[in-house]
């Protein structure tokens, strides 16, 4: 994942207080999903200037929920995902997943970035099962699960192929299968379809929905594509420009499994327009939200 140019050469600000490993925050998500409590993230640039990337964020994501986040570039979406993965530390606040505070790399997560990061010298099957090798788990069981996942994403005939023999969409399908192979409790996805053409994106979205419905994992999904967010999600969160804050969370009450025809319905159009209004008149919409926040204090 490429970091914005403003963050080149920056340092993480150490948290105000250290969370206890394996501890439990006072106000935990009631169903064992993802819980954020007043999470902030600040960076220090090379010239000692401080940049607040993410403002105070409190959020509960239910276990098994498909939760998407949309927002302008640089608003802290990827920063939030990296903190969920334990690859960045909040400056303040707490994050917990399934009751455990995340204060180090969270190993029970599957992560998919924009770039597939496949190992060119390994076959498709070997790329998917690399997780088993790293974790020291049963390789035969992992291989069986990998073959099943590859079947779900339509790659059962390519298990012995190499990455350079695959299209971009096929490579990203391998990445998705790899993220699921160790049976993680949470899947973190940072614009996984951004570099894929529109037609392939729709197919990949259906592949992802199929695996998610079969596994019922908790998914945290970042995208700039509003239709994609509405199509896939149970809820869609909108973030403000930096410092990023949640300005609205939209419930997506569309029947599942969803098929492409749902995008032609009035309800789908209404939901996408509700999200899109924040960006159609971006400066005015976010300024009005800021004014409302000030007025409520």
pLDDT digits (tens, 9 = 90+) for 2-26: 333 323 333 333 333 333 223 333 4
How many residues belong to the chain?
A: 297
Cα 124 to chain centroid, rounded: 23
DSSP-based three-state secondary structure for 93: strand
pLDDT at residue 27, as a whole number: 46
Tokens found for residue 222: 């970042």
> Using 50, 70 and 90 to split pLDDT, how confident is the model at 293?
low
Tokens of 15: 């948290």
Interval 80-119: pLDDT, tens: 999 999 999 999 999 999 888 998 888 888 888 888 888 9
Q: What pLDDT, on a 0 to 100 scale, did the predictor assign at position 10?
A: 35
- Return the pLDDT at 188: 94
Secondary structure class of 187 (helix, strand, coil): strand
Q: Rounded CA gap, 153 and 176, in Å? A: 8
Report the pLDDT value the prediction gives residue 31, as an integer from 0 to 100.
Answer: 59
pLDDT tens digit string along 261-278?
999 999 999 999 999 988
Q: Which domains can be identified in the chain, with CATH numbers?
A: 1-99+188-194+211-297 (3.40.50.300), 109-184 (no CATH)
Q: Hey, what are 18's tokens? A: 């250290």
pLDDT tens per residue, range 207-264: 889 889 988 889 999 999 999 999 999 999 999 888 888 999 999 999 999 999 999 9
């Amino acid at each position: 994942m490429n970091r914005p140019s403003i963050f080149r050469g920056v340092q993480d600000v150490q948290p105000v207080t250290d969370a206890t490993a394996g501890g439990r925050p006072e106000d935990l998500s009631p169903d064992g999903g993802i819980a954020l409590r007043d999470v902030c993230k600040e960076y220090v640039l090379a010239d000692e200037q401080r940049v607040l990337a993410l403002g105070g964020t409190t959020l509960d994501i239910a276990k098994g929920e498909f939760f998407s986040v949309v927002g302008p570039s640089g608003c802290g979406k990827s920063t939030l995902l990296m903190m969920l993965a334990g690859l960045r530390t909040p400056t303040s606040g707490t994050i917990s997943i399934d009751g455990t505070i995340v204060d180090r790399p969270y190993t029970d997560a599957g992560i998919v970035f924009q770039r597939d990061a496949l190992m060119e010298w390994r076959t498709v099957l070997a790329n998917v099962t690399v997780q088993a090798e790293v974790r020291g788990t049963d390789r035969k069981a992992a291989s069986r699960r990998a073959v099943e996942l590859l079947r779900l994403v339509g790659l059962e005939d390519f298990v012995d192929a190499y990455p350079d023999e695959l299209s971009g969409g096929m490579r990203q399908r391998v990445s998705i299968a790899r993220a699921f192979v160790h049976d993680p409790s949470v899947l973190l996805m940072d614009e996984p379809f951004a570099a894929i053409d529109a037609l392939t994106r729709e197919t990949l979205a259906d592949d992802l929905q199929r695996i998610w419905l079969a596994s019922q994992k908790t998914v945290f999904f970042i995208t700039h594509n509003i239709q994609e967010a509405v199509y896939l999600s149970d809820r869609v969160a909108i973030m403000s420009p930096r410092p990023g804050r949640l300005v609205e969370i939209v419930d997506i009450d569309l029947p599942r499994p969803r098929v492409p025809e749902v995008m032609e319905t009035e309800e789908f159009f209404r939901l996408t327009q509700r999200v899109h209004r924040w960006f159609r008149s971006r400066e005015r919409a976010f300024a009005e939200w800021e004014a409302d926040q000030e007025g409520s204090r």
